[in-house]
Structure 1
Amino acid sequence: MSAGGVGLNGKWLSQPVTGTQRYAGEIARRMLPLLDGPVTLHLPRDADVPSWLPLDVVVRRAPLSGTLFEQLWLPWVARRQLLVSLGGPAPLAARRQIVTMHDASPFRFPDTYSTLFGTWYRLMYRILARRAAAILTVSTFSASELAAVLHVSQGSIVVAGNGSDHVDGVEPSRPQLPHLDEDFVLCVGTFARHKNLAAALTALEAEGIRSVVVGASGGDRVFQAEHRQTWRGATFAGRLSDEEIIWLYDHARCLVFPSRYEGFGLPVIEAQRRGCPVVALAAASIPEVAGDGAVLVAATSDLPGAVLGLEHDESRRDSLRRAGRANASRRRWRDSAATVAEVVRRLQDQNRSR
């Protein structure tokens, strides 16, 4: 049994790094030094202890992993703690916890997911919305969406967005991919239906625009992925290292971000931070996140024209780079971590006053 204080759900440390795991790691490493009192990092059996973990944080490793760790072991051992779950799913049975919900896509785009996965997420979110001491999300758009589908007050959801400064100081490394000496646009995403990647690649291909795609089609157990056709002008990179992705941001003509639904859209501000122009759909959270540092279009069919327009307008590209960098510079992980730490302190104070 763990003593009181704060418990941190470390399930994300056993998973491949996507935007969700990036968020959890960047927030946690900056939040932990801001907290008072004892902190325990609860790890599943197959997770590694992060190198950045403060020395005064207690590590407790479970004999279980995955869902069994999170839904059975974790709520029991952390039952006297304020549990913080930053990586999406959270234990339904935890008595006091802060949960993070990145978006409402299981409700808005249920066909994107397998029946089992979608049903589980919708049930989990509904229960957590009633039981959690606090809900975190990453954008005002996402807060409004979650409030609508979960029937809770938007004002009760705390917005602590993604930062962009994790791309600073990364040494770029050229990926071992073909055609990188030619002009290309960069696409970051999967073939999940709401990501709209297949339609975007087809539109780019029709105008002779070469693309490099970072990301992979979702697993059969989770996503009902788009059928991958053959795009002659697309190079599929799969998963790359941070250093390789940074190289692509630095050398791409622009980032094309065609998603129809995002809680945030981290690649947008990553590209902006690196001075890569952004062309995206004016959908969901993207206008909020991109600010005036992107070319936003109404339809997928408009993406190629926006890309070609930038190609022939150097002053516009330079203007976008400046606006993008200014926008991304306002998105700092330390600010969001401070927001989360304040929520933790507020809940601790409430518990002491009882």
Structure 2
Amino acid sequence: MGEGFRRLFVDVSTIAQHDARTGIQRVVRAVLLQLLHNPPDDFAVVPVAAMARRGYCAAPFDPVTGKVSLPPPDSPLLCGVAGDIFLGLDLAAHRLSRHRRQIAGWRRRGVAIHVVVYDLLPLQHPEWFPASTARNFRKWLQVLARLSDGAVCISHAVARDLEHWLAANAVRPVTIAVMPLSGAVEASNPSHGMDEEGRRAIDWMRSAPTVLMVGTIEPRKGHDAVLAAMERLWRERREAAPNLLIIGRLGWHMEGLQRMLNQHPERGSRLRWLGNASDELLLACYAHAALVIVASRGEGFGLPIVEARQRGLKVLARDLPVFHEQADEGVFFFSSDAPERLTDDIMHVLKADGTAARPAGGWIDSIDRLLLALGTPRTRQAGSVNPAS
């Protein structure tokens, strides 16, 4: 690090310990890579991570693989100084709240504290999450309210929710900014590999129109509503009905749906579930899908909408305000889970004219908005991001 450089500490605590390869992890990887290759002027970007029993330390970054790992046990704790910035990029609510004294010490020494806010759903709908998630999230919000200088939200809907909560709970001013996300999966250090099950799924998608759902299997995602609608289509439309492919890891409180998917009479015929798909396989499935359904009952952004539209796919999304932020002529909306209504919506969108792909906004656009929020604009021309460079 050159003389006179300040440091931008970027929290990657969760992906350093375990990268679940879900949507938020794709965002964290992409943003970190962009920051490392296109840092703000006069700053050195330092990935950092905290563990349960040890505070924030520098996290080793491998430029060949583009991966970060947990700090060695003997790593010194970071000591921030005036002019440094801490960015809570990763969704690590339990770590930030556990080590709030270290954050508070940084702030007293003049370190600016900024936190990325993906949604407020564990506060708004704790019934959708494990009890520990909701509990840790409330603690995390208190740290944000008491110690942060700024919050960077991933949508205007999240910004409005946070603004309302801070109006009643903040003890000091917190600046709120918005950083829209990109659908450029290929720029997020994507995972590779396609097993035999994945290859069979691609061949199967070529044989008939396929409706695709992307996202972790968890209570709010709406898999139950879509499956009920597809079952009705399979009964009534038979060969004219599309297939259904679900891509997503099994989450929490979903044992009933797991059994239903595994034991479904149409499994392997009209229905498939890929629970461990690589990003390479995900992109291949996007390329062969006829329609993407985003049925979640609550989101902070709606990444599959942007990913699908940047590849020219039609999208049928639940009628949520946050999804309207991503709307264009290729995004259609539904408002009822009733199978007879949703089946009509699915068939209507499948028959609708195709639409052109949305112009691909790269992650560098997101980074520019982020750096503007941090007060650290980048004046140098952006370079390409390649983990091996």
TM-score between the two structures when normalised by the length of structure 2: 0.73
Deviates more, 1:333-342 or 1:168-177: 168-177
Distance in 2, Cα, partners of 1:53 & 1:216: 23
State the match for 2:250 in structure 1. 217
8 A contact 1:42–1:60 mirrored in 2: no
Q: 1:155 to 1:303 in 2, by over 3 A?
A: farther
Distance in 2, Cα, partners of 1:60 & 1:234: 37
Give 2:34's match in structure 1, choosing from 18, 30, 33.
30
State the match for 2:10 in structure 1. 8
Give SS of 1:34's match: coil
State the match for 1:297 in structure 2. 334
Distance in 2, Cα, partners of 1:281 & 1:21: 23
Deviation at 1:173, TM superposition (A): 6.4
Higher relative contact order (CA 8 A, sep 6+): 2
Give 2:363's match in structure 1, choosing from 330, 333, 353.
333
Distance in 2, Cα, partners of 1:155 & 1:345: 14
Distance in 1, Cα, partners of 2:323 & 2:342: 15
Give SS of 1:270's match: helix
Encode CA deviations 1:217-261: one digit per residue, 9 max, x unaligned. 21xxxx333621244242110121112111111111100111111
State the match for 2:91 in structure 1. 88
Q: Does 1:102 align with 2:118?
A: yes
Q: Does 1:124 align with 2:161?
A: no
Q: Does 1:39 align with 2:45?
A: yes
Unaligned runs of 5+ in 2: 52-58, 235-241, 378-389
Deviates more, 1:276-285 or 1:30-39: 30-39
8 A contact 2:151–2:174 mirrored in 1: no
Distance in 2, Cα, partners of 1:53 & 1:157: 34
State the match for 1:158 in structure 2. 177
TM-score between the two structures when normalised by the length of structure 1: 0.79
Deviation at 1:165, TM superposition (A): 2.9
Give 1:269's match in structure 2, choosing from 306, 315, 321.
306
Structure whose alpha-carbon radius of gyration is higher: 2
Give SS of 2:249's match: coil
8 A contact 2:215–2:249 mirrored in 1: yes
**1:62-211 mapped onto 2 (5 Å cutoff):** 62-63=71-72, 76-80=77-81, 81-89=84-92, 91-92=96-97, 93=100, 94=103, 95=107, 96-151=112-167, 156-167=175-186, 175-178=198-201, 179-180=204-205, 181-208=207-234, 209-211=242-244
Distance in 2, Cα, partners of 1:189 & 1:141: 20
Give SS of 2:293's match: strand
* Identity across the alignment (%): 21
Deviation at 1:44, TM superposition (A): 6.1
Unaligned runs of 5+ in 1: 348-354
4+ long deviations beyond 4 Å = 152-155, 167-174
Q: 1:50 to 1:207 in 2, by over 3 A?
A: farther
8 A contact 1:134–1:158 mirrored in 2: yes
Distance in 2, Cα, partners of 1:339 & 1:275: 25
Encode CA deviations 1:125-163: one digit per residue, 9 max, x unaligned. 232133112111110011112222343699931100111
What is the aligned length? Answer: 320
State the match for 1:247 in structure 2. 284
Could you tell me which amino acid in structure 1 is paired with residue 45 of structure 2? V
Give SS of 1:41's match: strand
Deviates more, 1:114-123 or 1:9-18: 9-18
Distance in 2, Cα, partners of 1:98 & 1:177: 45
Distance in 2, Cα, partners of 1:191 & 1:110: 16
Deviation at 1:34, TM superposition (A): 3.2
Distance in 2, Cα, partners of 1:237 & 1:128: 36
Q: 1:49 to 1:34 in 2, by over 3 A?
A: closer
Distance in 2, Cα, partners of 1:142 & 1:264: 8
State the match for 1:352 in structure 2. none
